[in-house]
Amino acid sequence: MKKIFYLIVIFINFIVYTNAQDNKRMANINSIFEKMELQGVDTKKPLLFGYFFYDKDKSKLENFKNELLKDNYQLVRLEMTEKNEFVLHVEKVEIHTRVSLLERENQLEKLSKKSKVETYDGWDVGNADPTKPLVSKSDFEKLLDTKTDAELYKLAGELYDSETNDKAIIVFNKCIEKNIKPDTSNFKLGVSYIGLGQIKTGVEKLEKAVILNPNYFKACFNLGATYYDNQQYQKSVDYYQKAAKINPKDDNVLYGIAASQFVLRQFKDAETNCKMALKLNPNNTNASSLLDNINKEKNGTQD
């Protein structure tokens, strides 16, 4: 009886794990398909799908590779990685729906386990012609030319929300050229540039948003955070204080001011802002931790 119960528990755990894994994979598939479709990719046409497998034993991947080649997969690489394990990358031109791609992932994982390969590590996708990009700049700009102003701004927002920063930049620049919601377009353009690591240009666009709309809370807040992250602490204080004037009851703004003041060794002002933040939100753990550090500095006990 105990053995039957044990087997039932194992079976239930397996079902739960499988469902969770399928949900995670489908979420990833949906996200990537949505990004492709936003950029004008026809996902109903053949595309080049790549699949990745890892193992410390190269011979297992060699044997598995030979099985996949029989099924018309093409070898891209089988080589050692920096983590001292081997990667097998194969690809195949296929047409996939979201559901069929999930089925392909599960099939490949099952086949890899049968071959005792340690890890199936997912997929990528490209143009069926590997010499061409999935989305060329010219094709994307042609797509934009078909959009009304409202559709253009909607597309920019969708690309922004999906963190497709390179394409969001193109569309928001178009919006700015056409004077479509210039303050918000500059703000989101700035965030997109920062997302790509182009900090200077991103900051310029955020500052433009504030010039266009001096009461733009998010732009002031993001400038405060960005200047802090880039060790320009006085500018961080300046923009956080602008944000605080717009919304004096935001505890995160007050914590941001305090954090920059702390680095500038303005401990008294930092303490005041920390306490104000905690009065607004006693659960602000960042402010609590910073206040502890301020007290250590005041008492000369900072590690």
Residue with tokens 């099985």: 67
pTM: 0.79
Task: Determine contact, residues 287/254, Cβ cutoff 8 Å.
Answer: yes
Domains along the sequence of the chain with CATH: 2-126 (3.30.70.970), 137-299 (1.25.40.10)
Confidence of residue 1 (pLDDT cuts 50, 70, 90): low
Of how many residues is the chain composed? 303
pLDDT tens for 219-250 read: 999 999 999 999 999 999 999 999 999 999 99
pLDDT per residue as tens digits for the range 143-201: 999 999 999 999 999 999 999 999 999 999 999 999 999 999 999 999 999 999 999 99
Q: At what angle do helices 182-195 and 165-177 cross, to 10 degrees?
A: 150
Query: How far is the C-alpha of 277 from the C-alpha of 261, rounded, in Å?
Result: 14
Phi and psi at residue 298, to the nearest 5° = -65, -35
Q: Residues 251-291: pLDDT tens digits?
A: 999 999 999 999 999 999 999 999 999 999 999 999 999 99
* Bridge partner residues of 49 (DSSP): 92, 125
Handedness of CA 105, 111, 112, 114 (dihedral sign): positive
Give the integer Cα–Cα distance in Å for 201 and 88: 39
pLDDT in tens, 61-98: 999 999 999 999 999 999 999 989 999 999 999 999 99
Residues 6+ apart with CB under 8 A from 36: 43, 125, 134, 135
Nearest residue to 217 (alpha-carbon basis) of 243, 248, 256: 243
126: β partners: 48
Cα(228)–Cα(172) distance, integer angstroms: 26
- Closest to 191 in 3D by CA, of 158, 230, 218: 218
H-only helix segments in 41-181: 58-70, 98-114, 137-145, 149-161, 165-177
